[in-house]
Amino acid sequence: MKFFIDTANIEEIKEANSMGMADGVTTNPTLIAREKGDFEDIIKEICKIVDGPISAEVISLDTEGMLKEARHLASIHKNIVVKLPMTIDGIKATRQLSKEGIKINVTLIFSPLQALMAAKAGATYVSPFIGRLDDISNEGILLVEQIVEIFNNYAFDTEVIVASVRNPLHVLDAALMGADIATIPFKVLSKFASHPLTDKGIKAFLDDWNKANK
């Protein structure tokens, strides 16, 4: 399973990369807005740190605007994946850009048929937002299960990026379902490494060592 880092924060990206846990990066306009600096400069900086797919999102809502923005973003670096919203205009743009060899991540997926449409249009990735579904009392992870099943049924190459991840269990469940990728906020990733029994075990080993005066 690939781990992408869901942030535009350079320090977080560097730290995750040094752990070998950044197979790629996803950004969105909200994540970019949290950081200081120009959008393209931030994206270029990320591309220097991580050698993997880097998602950068368009802000246009019409197909023509998306095509223009997407072609420009894709020209910035070979690893750029253009994020397009799951709308009819987004689907039309996905179809055209995929034919041009530009990798597309269709974002804001909340139903399995949206994912199927995006895959049929040629998307390289789809991003189901599971945390936002949980927020409205719909079990988000069930969406991932359905998308993985549909893509397996028809052998689509489109990869599933589990997005809007809020806790480690989201990633565990996604991994058990065979999702290709989880895009993970840094603070959630940091929680994977810790376990109270690990801390307790380390302390006990050191205490025993010190007691024996080695």
Residue 163: closest CA among 43, 83, 79: 83
Rounded CA-CA distance 25/9 in Å is 10
Active site residues: 83
* x-or-dash string of contact with ligand E4P, 115-144, rule CB under 6 A: ------------x-x-xx------------
Residue 4: closest CA among 184, 195, 200, 175: 184
Residue 126 or 203: the one with the smaller Cβ distance to ligand E4P is: 126
6 binds ligand E4P (CB under 6 A): yes
Rounded CA-CA distance 169/158 in Å is 24
Tell me the closest approach of the beta carbon of residue 120 to ligand E4P, in angstroms: 21
Return the residue matching tokens 């190459």: 157
The phi and psi torsions of 79 (rounded to 5 degrees) equal -90, 0
173 binds ligand E4P (CB under 6 A): no
The CB-nearest residue to ligand E4P is 164
Give, in order, the Cα–Cα distances in Å from 97 to each of 24, 31, 71, 94, 123: 21, 24, 8, 5, 9
Given a contact cutoff of 8 angstroms between Cβ atoms, the answer to whether 142 and 112 are in contact is no
For the segment 140-169, give every residue that binds ligand E4P (CB under 6 A).
Answer: 163-164
Tell me the closest approach of the beta carbon of residue 19 to ligand E4P, in angstroms: 19
Tell me the closest approach of the beta carbon of residue 79 to ligand E4P, in angstroms: 16
Residue 181 or 211: the one with the smaller Cβ distance to ligand E4P is: 181
Given a contact cutoff of 8 angstroms between Cβ atoms, the answer to whether 82 and 104 are in contact is yes
Residue of 46, 183, 188, 189 interacting with ligand E4P (CB under 6 A): 183
Tell me the closest approach of the beta carbon of residue 200 to ligand E4P, in angstroms: 32
Residue of 107, 114, 124, 158 interacting with ligand E4P (CB under 6 A): 107
| H/E element, 80 | strand 80-85
94 binds ligand E4P (CB under 6 A): no
Contacting residues toward ligand E4P, per CB under 6 A: 6, 26, 28, 107, 127, 129, 131-132, 163-164, 183
